[in-house]
Structures are given as structure tokens and as C-alpha cells.
Amino acid sequence: MLQMRNVAKRYGATVALENVNLDVKAGEVMALLGENGAGKSTLVKILAGLEQPDSGAIAIGGKPHNIGSPAQARAAGISYVAQELSIVGTLSVAENVFLGDQTVGLLRSPSSLARRAKPFLARIGLGDIDPSLPAEAFSVAERQLMEIARLLSREARIAILDEPTAALSEVEIDRVKTAVRTLAEEGCAIIYVTHRLGEVFELSHRVTIIRNGHSFAPVATSSLQVDGLIEMMLGRRLEQMFPPRAPSVGDKLLVVEDCLCQGLSSPVSFILRKGEMLGLAGQVGSGATAILKVLAGLTPLYRGSITLDGRPFTPRVIRDSIKMGVAYCSDDRKRDGVFAVRNLVENLSAPVIDQVSRFGLMNRRAETTHTQAVAQQFNIDINGLGRLAGNLSGGNQQKVALGKWIGISPSLLIVEEPTRGVDVGARAEIYRHLRAQTARGLAILFASSDTHEVLGLADTIGTFFQGEMVQIGSADAMTAEIITRDVTHPAVAA
Amino acid sequence: MNCFNPRRDLAARLAMMIAIYAIFAARLPSYYTIPGVASLLDGAFLTGVIALGVGLTMIAGEMDLSVGSMAALAGIISIKLAPLGILPAIVVTTALAAVVGAAQGWCIAWLRINSLIFTVGTLIAFRGLALLISNEQTANISLDQLDATDFLSVHWFFVSPLSLILLIAALVISVFCSRTLWGREIFSIGGGRAEARAAGVPMGRPLIIAFALSAALAALAGAVLSLQAGSATPLGFDAVLLDAVTACLIGGVALRGGRGSVLGIIIGLFTLRFLVSGIASLGAPFWAQSLASGALLIALILVEGGYYAFARRRAFAKSRLAAG
């Protein structure tokens, strides 16, 4: 039904896909597996018409196709349930089911639309909701199910589901599985992207693994074991990538006790010591980043207690955290990591702007001295400080986003996804710089969906799955297999 | 579970409009006599017709700032076209404006530019064009044609051509908004542009349609009022944009897009109208009218903000309870 040959895609200097082949037959569920950053999402975006490949050929039903826009993808019979939701909250449920569908007709009455949406909603277990209510009245899980209802309504020949169950509970996941099976039985070719290995074994007929922008020949699911699958996903390890762990750690710095917050379904406790690096591993929506946001002052703490250096620590806004010497670097560099249209001096001095100014007037010399000191610590070219941050590569931008916080001499650095969108070489460098900071007594708490990163970098590792901490322990006792199992399929452990 | 209910929201706004009407009607007989009601309705024509268009662009998550200049330009053009006959002049002017507005929408979609920036440009440019075409003079209809425009000023009870046009425009836009694919696309790109795009909604069409309708409605209002008066000045209609936006905001159109309805815009329009005319009829000076409509808008925004915060907290507490 669908064939992709030698597809490649780069974003600037970063290669997302180097050489990918994909074959999906009608009536088949093809699981697409790979680690974060392996290129799965890029691949499905190309199929959905949201991205254009640099080279390669796509054929549907034996005929070559050019997919230039989401509308063209739709015309080719491809339907896509995105990882990020594509439900418009202000529209009604029924309108969302038929959103983007040009064939429903120009004239529509809300009641007839609701009536027509009803059977599709019923098939996904949403039969009892009122389709004329706005979509924002429903939970994220229900909205995800609405997307699948939309997919059903389009009678697609090829359906792409990109982590459709990431935000769902068990009951809801069962509804999705039933819908996927029905779709396949009706002759639809299904590409199913997931991190949950249980679903792979339950649903898929064949598995295609993507690693570092390359695809592997598809394997029949029935011939696979959980362990073998994990090994294939991980591939060889890059031992030399990570600096050695801390030989010893200092006193208790951060004590998190019985804390509950948005994104967690059961309370977490852990202790972070000076000079220690604690890595929280988990997929998107697993709750690994939840407590980081509380510590940064972004979301409120519902329950539990946090002490920093023996004193209670309850930041209400980001500024509180910064005052207490807690720096936070989010996973969205474009949004709040760097000022893309300002130069590096201004980027690096931003957190200490009151230290390099007097009575509101900037002291340029103090600013330059400060930024040069920071730049040297993070190996940023001090002769290029006049360049705009937006013109740097992802790796160098990340060095700026992280490095600027060293300037406030924090006691705790919180990092989400320390190396998202950073190439391999720059990764090793960032890891080295972070480790150098902990040697000076800085404690680092980071969350990552990259198993290798957590395993290689952290001294202590916590694993998260569906809002719960699966386990926490010394990194010496962990292996890539244990972490991958914990964050994808902890049931196997029990 | 539900923190926003459009029906309850509209009902609250309607209740406020009725309350304001009642307060003034208790003191002012002109609020219920036939000529009084007629003048209230006619007075709402300009702001109303333009608010429908601006409201559409606001629902699309954009804003057309050029409507005032467009109305002035249309006024001049319609006077120049009056020799064709009054009705043809109105129709041709409106159609021309729709084409220009569509081009404006296309540019905004194609350049992916913020419509505020683009329409500041056209706001100034249309005014310049009006001055150019009018030769910087007030344009007057020829004397022998004055009689032909009389039909725009007749009244049947409290209904006039002006209030009929407003009513028809509101009905047409309302049906367009709630019952057509194209109208719903405008709501979808305003409610969530990235989500709508991912769902396969084309980005160009809703923007082109919203801006074409906005320009056409502005031109319709400008042409009708200019022909009714028999003259048009190139510097006219400069205050209408803010009135129209205020009416939309009072009527529950969200600035960030996606929310709003024609009924809401009409409610907002008359809330504002009842308040301003009432204060004026009671003999208050002009500053009191401005102050009152500003205060109303700000009070409403505060109440809305407070209500959302309250609803969020309640929804949040409920979800915590549900989660155990």
C-alpha cells in the first residue's frame, strides 16, 4: 500500500533522516519503533505533509506520490493522528471530528453534524458524550480519542498514529487498540508509532525500527521477544560519550518528600546531594519533568514538602527559584532558552543583568567581563560573542542556554532534556561541562527521555511511567535494558 | 468539568444589555417611543455593520484595523458612482471592497504576517487613496440625484433601510458563521491555528474570506451612510474602529480568537449603544459617554478574568477529587 524509498531529511546542520525505507501493506499494523530523536516523528510528518523530504520517493498503491501539504496527504488517503493534539478546543466535538474534511459539504447544521459524528465517537467509546459541546470541556485523553474518531470518519487508506496512547489511561488505551484493530480489519494500512512495547506485541503485525536516521528491514512481531526488541532499539552504546561519574558527593541539598503535583499520579520522594547529578528518565507524559516544574516555580505543589539546604523551599514564580540559587533550563530552547535575535553577550548576561548594571544603566565592561568568564567555562568562542544566538547550531545554542545560568552561581541546576536537538559531538561536550560544574559542588537535576543520556550522565537515576516513579537508585545498579523497560513497559518487571 | 459554556455566557451578556436598557428606559421615554427606538436602531447601523466584519477577523485570531479608512474610501467612491443609480453604486462599491479585502487576506496568509501590522499599512493607505480620489474635498452627490437617495431615510414604524440592512447582514453572517464549512474554518484557525493546520484546514481560505467580508461590510456601511447624507468626506469614519472592537469585546468575541458569535456582537453593540445614548440623552457631557463605555469594557474584562480564575480553580479542585 505504502512504500517509502531512501527518504532523507535534514534541518540545517542536523540530519534527522539519512536513509529510510518503509513498506506497509493494506490491513497491516506496522509498528514504528526507535529511541527519541531517532527520526520517527520526522518520518510521519513527511507522510502527513507537514514536512517535505530532501530526497527519496513515496509511492501509494504502487503510484508515486508527492505529498506537499496536509491537504494533499489527505487527498492521497493518508490520515494522521499527531503526537501533539490537533483538536481545536473552541470548536464543538462534532466539528473537530470533521475538521479539515472538505467532503462534508459547505452547508452544515450543528445538529446534523453532531448526528453524523455520533457513530464515529461511539466506535471509540465516546458514544455517551454530547458532540455539540466544545472540545475543551473534555480531558486530554478524551480529546485524543476524538482524533481517532476523526481518523475513522475519513475512511483513510493509510492511517498514521503517532504515540496515540501517550496521554491515556489503561481503559482508554483499550479503546484505541480496539479501534486500531477494526481499522486494520477493514483493510487500512496502519503505521503505529509508540514507546510502549506492550502495545507493539498486542497490536502490530510487523515492526520497523529506526535508529539514528536509518531504518532496518521490517521484522514480523511474532518472531520477536521484549528483550530482543529493546536491544534492537538501543543499538551499540557510546561509552566514551559520557564523563566519569562523581567519585563522591557532598551533603544533602534538596530533599523532596512525598510530593504530588500536576503530571504525577502518585507522590515522589528523593534526595539530591551537592555535586550529584540526578537523572529522571521517562517518556513524554510520564511525569519525569513534573517535579522539575515545581522546583522551577512554574507549577504549584499540591502536597508534600521540599527543603533546599535545610530550609523549606516553595517557589511561587520563577524569580523565587532564581533568588534561592535554583536555575532552570527548559526543554524548549526556542521559547525560553535563548534570545535568538540578540547577541551572545546579552544572552549570557541576562540572568545577572542587575549585577552588571548600576541605577538601571548597563556597565558594558562588567557585562563583557562576566560573559567572557561564563563563555570560557562552557567553551563558547569568546571572539564570536557578537553573533546572534539564533545563528548558532543547536549544540552551541544549548551551551548558551545552560551556560548563562552558571553566571548566577546556582546551587541547583534544573535541566529538562539537556541535549534535545543537539548533535552527537556537542552532546559529549555539554555532558563534560555539566560534569565539571558538579565537581565544583553544583547539584544537577535533569529529566530526559533519552535512556542513554540518563544512564551515562547521572549518578542516581529515577524512572517514570504514567505519572509514577517506578524506581530510584544508584546508576551503577542500572542498565539501559532496565531503564528502557521501566519507562516503556514496567509490567514485565513485576 | 466544563469551564466555558457559550450559552450561559451569552445569556449573562444579554441580561446585562437588558438591565442597561431597563435602567435608562425607566427615565427616558425615548427608549420606548417609536421615533426613539428608530433612532437607537439607526444609530447602531454604522458600528454594527462594521463590528460584524471586524468581529469575524477577531474570531480568526486576527484584526482588521483598516475598516474605518475603508468606509471613508467607499463613501467617496459610492458618491462618484452615484450617477449609475443609488443601489448599483452601493453594490459595486461593496463588491470592489470585497476584492480588495480578499487581496488583503491573501497577503496576510501568504506572507504569514501579523494582520495588525499589515492593516496599519492599509489603514493609512486607504485614507490616502480616499484623499486622492476626492481631491481632498468633501464629495457631494449632484443635486438632481438628491431625491433618489430619499428611500434610504424612510421609516416604517421604527424600521428603516439602515436597520433592515443591519438585520440582514447579521442574519447572513450568523448563518455563514454557524452553518458553513468556510465559517467554521474561520473559527478553527482562530481557536487553534497549529491544530487546525494539522487537521488539514487550509490556511489561506479562511483568512481571505474573513478579510473580504470585513472590507465589504465596512464599505457597505460607508457607502450607505454617505449616499444617505448625500456627501462624503475623505476624513470620515475615523472613530468607528474602536467602537466596533469595543462592541465585539463586550459581546464576548475573544481577542485571541476562536470565540464569539454574531448574536454576541449584536448584544455588545446594543449594550454599548444603550449606555452611550442613555448617558447622552440624560444630558451628560461627551467625556461622560467615553468614560462610561470605557469603564463598562474594563469592568467586563475584570469580571471575565475573575470568573475564569474561579472556574479554573473549581475545575482543578474537582479533578483532584476525582483523582483521589
Model pLDDT for residues B54-92, shown as the tens digit of each residue: 999 999 999 999 999 999 999 999 999 999 999 999 999
For residue A136, the chain B residues in CB contact (below 8 A) are: 3-4
> Which residue of B58, B195, B203, B256 is the best one to mutate when testing the A interface, meaning the one whose CB has the most A CBs within 10 A?
B195
For residue B192, the chain A residues in CB contact (below 8 A) are: 86-90
Q: What is the mean pLDDT of residues B264-272?
A: 96
H-helix segments, A124-221: 140-153, 170-185, 197-203
Q: Answer yes or no: is pLDDT of A13 > 70.
A: no
Q: Answer yes or no: is pLDDT of B321 > 80.
A: no
Q: What is the mean pLDDT of chain B?
A: 90
Strands A412-416 and A268-273 turn out to be unpaired
Residue A307 binned pLDDT confidence (cut-offs 50, 70, 90):
very high
Bigger pLDDT: A183 vs A490: A183
Q: Is the same domain home to A113 and A244? A: no
> Does A445 fall in a domain?
yes
> Does A319 fall in a domain?
yes
Q: Is the same domain home to A220 and A300? A: no
Q: What is the mean pLDDT of residues A38-49?
A: 85
Inter-chain CB proximity A86 and B195 less than 8 Å: yes
What is the pLDDT at residue B1? 36
Q: Answer yes or no: is pLDDT of A177 > 70.
A: yes
Q: What is the ipTM of this complex?
A: 0.83
Q: Is the same domain home to A75 and A206? A: yes
Q: Answer yes or no: is pLDDT of A278 > 90.
A: yes
Residue B51 binned pLDDT confidence (cut-offs 50, 70, 90):
very high
Which residues, 6 or more positions from A177, have their beta carbon under 8 angstroms from its beta carbon? A199, A202, A203
The C-alpha atoms of residue A413 and residue A417 are separated, in whole angstroms, by: 13
What is the pLDDT at residue A63? 87
Q: Is residue A137 less than 8 Å (CB to CB) from chain B? A: yes
Q: What are residue B247's phi and psi, to 5 degrees?
A: -60, -45
Residue B257 Cα, gap to closest chain A Cα (Å): 9
> Does A177 fall in a domain?
yes
Please report where in the chains the cell 513515496 appears, as a residue: A58
Which residues, 6 or more positions from A350, have their beta carbon under 8 angstroms from its beta carbon? A339, A404
Q: Which residues pair with A306 in a beta bridge?
A: A256
The C-alpha atoms of residue A414 and residue A392 are separated, in whole angstroms, by: 23
- Alpha carbon of B78 to those of A117, A118, A210, B73, B220: distances in Å? 47, 50, 65, 9, 10
Q: Is the same domain home to A43 and A121? A: yes
Specify the amino acid at residue A70.
P
Q: Is the same domain home to A352 and A277? A: no
Helices B161-179 + B204-229 axis angle, to 10: 170
Spatial CA neighbour of B115 closest among B52, B62, B193 = B62
Please report where in the chains the cell 499494523 appears, as a residue: A29
Residue B203 Cα, gap to closest chain A Cα (Å): 10
Inter-chain CB proximity A137 and B2 less than 8 Å: yes
Torsion of CA A221, A223, A227, A232, to 10 degrees: -70
For residue B313, the chain A residues in CB contact (below 8 A) are: none
The C-alpha atoms of residue B13 and residue A335 are separated, in whole angstroms, by: 37
Given A218, A234, A250, the domain boundary residue is: A234
Given A219, A234, A249, the domain boundary residue is: A234
Q: What are residue A115's phi and psi, to 5 degrees?
A: -65, -40
What is the pLDDT at residue B319? 56
Q: State percent of chain A over pLDDT 70.
A: 95
Indicate which CATH number applies to the domain containing A218: 3.40.50.300
What is the pLDDT at residue B13? 93
> Does A279 fall in a domain?
yes
Inter-chain CB proximity B195 and A87 less than 8 Å: yes
What is the pLDDT at residue A14? 67
Q: Answer yes or no: is pLDDT of A1 > 90.
A: no
Q: Answer yes or no: is pLDDT of A409 > 80.
A: yes
What is the pLDDT at residue B2? 41
- From A151, which residue of chain B is nearest by alpha-carbon distance? B199
The C-alpha atoms of residue A472 and residue A451 are separated, in whole angstroms, by: 14
Q: Is the same domain home to A148 and A22? A: yes
B positions 167-186 inside 8 Å of A (CB): 178-182, 184
Per-residue 3-state assignment (H helix, E strand, C coil) for A84-128: CCCCCCCCEHHHHHCCCCHHHCCECCHHHHHHHHHHHHHHCCCCC
As separate numbers, helices (DSSP H) first and strands (DSSP E) second, chain A gives 16, 23
What is the pLDDT at residue A317? 87
Among candidates B2, B3, B188 on the partner chain, residue whose Cβ is nearest the Cβ of A99: B188
Inter-chain CB proximity A100 and B200 less than 8 Å: yes
Q: Answer yes or no: is pLDDT of B112 > 90.
A: no
Q: Is the same domain home to A366 and A294? A: no
For residue B198, the chain A residues in CB contact (below 8 A) are: 48, 50, 70, 80, 82, 84, 86
Q: What is the mean pLDDT of residues B258-274?
A: 94
What is the pLDDT at residue A493? 44
Which domains, ranges and CATH numbers included, belong to chain B? Answer: 6-323 (1.10.3470)
Q: Is the same domain home to A415 and A399? A: no
The C-alpha atoms of residue A32 and residue A162 are separated, in whole angstroms, by: 9
Q: Is the same domain home to A53 and A167? A: yes
How is residue A411 written as a grid cell? 546551587
Please report where in the chains the cell 468626506 appears, as a residue: B233
Q: Answer yes or no: is pLDDT of A104 > 80.
A: no
Domain limits for position A352: 343-408
Q: Answer yes or no: is pLDDT of A103 > 80.
A: no
Distance of CA A27 to the CA centre of its chain: 30
Please report where in the chains the cell 567553551 appears, as a residue: A379
Given A197, A216, A234, the domain boundary residue is: A234
Specify the amino acid at residue B142.
S
Q: Is residue B307 less than 8 Å (CB to CB) from chain A? A: no
A positions 211-270 inside 8 Å of B (CB): 265
Which residues, 6 or more positions from B19, have their beta carbon under 8 angstroms from its beta carbon? none
Model pLDDT for residues B187-232, shown as the tens digit of each residue: 999 998 888 888 888 889 999 999 999 999 999 999 999 999 999 9
How is residue B79 written as a grid cell? 458618491
A311-318 LR contacts (CB < 8 Å, sep 24+): A313/A254
A positions 95-134 inside 8 Å of B (CB): 95-96, 99-102, 104-110, 133-134
Q: Is residue A141 less than 8 Å (CB to CB) from chain B? A: no
The C-alpha atoms of residue A393 and residue A387 are separated, in whole angstroms, by: 12
The C-alpha atoms of residue A160 and residue A192 are separated, in whole angstroms, by: 6
Quick check: A427 and A419 in contact, CB under 8 A? Answer: yes
The C-alpha atoms of residue B92 and residue A67 are separated, in whole angstroms, by: 41
Quick check: A32 and A43 in contact, CB under 8 A? Answer: yes
Q: What is the mean pLDDT of residues A244-252?
A: 86
The C-alpha atoms of residue A150 and residue A153 are separated, in whole angstroms, by: 5
Quick check: A445 and A295 in contact, CB under 8 A? Answer: yes
The C-alpha atoms of residue A408 and residue A352 are separated, in whole angstroms, by: 6
Q: Is residue A68 less than 8 Å (CB to CB) from chain B? A: no
Q: How many other CB atoms are found less than 10 A from the CB of residue B324?
A: 6
Helices B86-111 + B115-134 axis angle, to 10: 150
Model pLDDT for residues B133-186, shown as the tens digit of each residue: 999 999 998 888 888 888 888 888 889 999 999 999 999 999 999 889 999 999
Tally the domains of chain A. Answer: 3
Q: What is the mean pLDDT of residues A358-375?
A: 87
> Does A185 fall in a domain?
yes
The DSSP symbol for A333 reads I
Q: What is the mean pLDDT of residues A277-284?
A: 89
Which residues, 6 or more positions from B278, have their beta carbon under 8 angstroms from its beta carbon? B20, B23, B24, B28, B31
Q: Is the same domain home to A217 and A269? A: no
Which residues, 6 or more positions from B145, have their beta carbon under 8 angstroms from its beta carbon? B82, B83, B86
Among candidates A74, A87, A106 on the partner chain, residue whose Cβ is nearest the Cβ of B200: A74
Give DSSP secondary structure letters for A365-414: HHHHHHHHHHHHHTT--GGGTTSBGGGS-HHHHHHHHHHHHHTT--SEEE
Inter-chain CB proximity B195 and A102 less than 8 Å: no
For residue A85, the chain B residues in CB contact (below 8 A) are: 195
Q: What is the mean pLDDT of residues A248-264?
A: 90
For residue A90, the chain B residues in CB contact (below 8 A) are: 187, 190-192, 258-259
Bigger pLDDT: B301 vs B217: B217
> Does A334 fall in a domain?
no
- From A113, which residue of chain B is nearest by alpha-carbon distance? B179
> Does A77 fall in a domain?
yes
Q: What is the mean pLDDT of chain A?
A: 85
Specify the amino acid at residue A184.
A
Q: Is the same domain home to A449 and A435? A: yes
Q: What are residue A394's phi and psi, to 5 degrees?
A: -55, -40
B positions 198-217 inside 8 Å of A (CB): 198-202
Among candidates B179, B191, B201 on the partner chain, residue whose Cβ is nearest the Cβ of A89: B191
Residue A213 binned pLDDT confidence (cut-offs 50, 70, 90):
confident
- Using DSSP's 3-state secondary structure scheme, residue B268 falls into helix
- From A146, which residue of chain B is nearest by alpha-carbon distance? B199
Quick check: B225 and B45 in contact, CB under 8 A? Answer: yes
Element (H, E) at B290: helix B286-323
- From A84, which residue of chain B is nearest by alpha-carbon distance? B195
> Does A164 fall in a domain?
yes
Q: Is the same domain home to A15 and A32? A: yes
What is the pLDDT at residue A292? 92
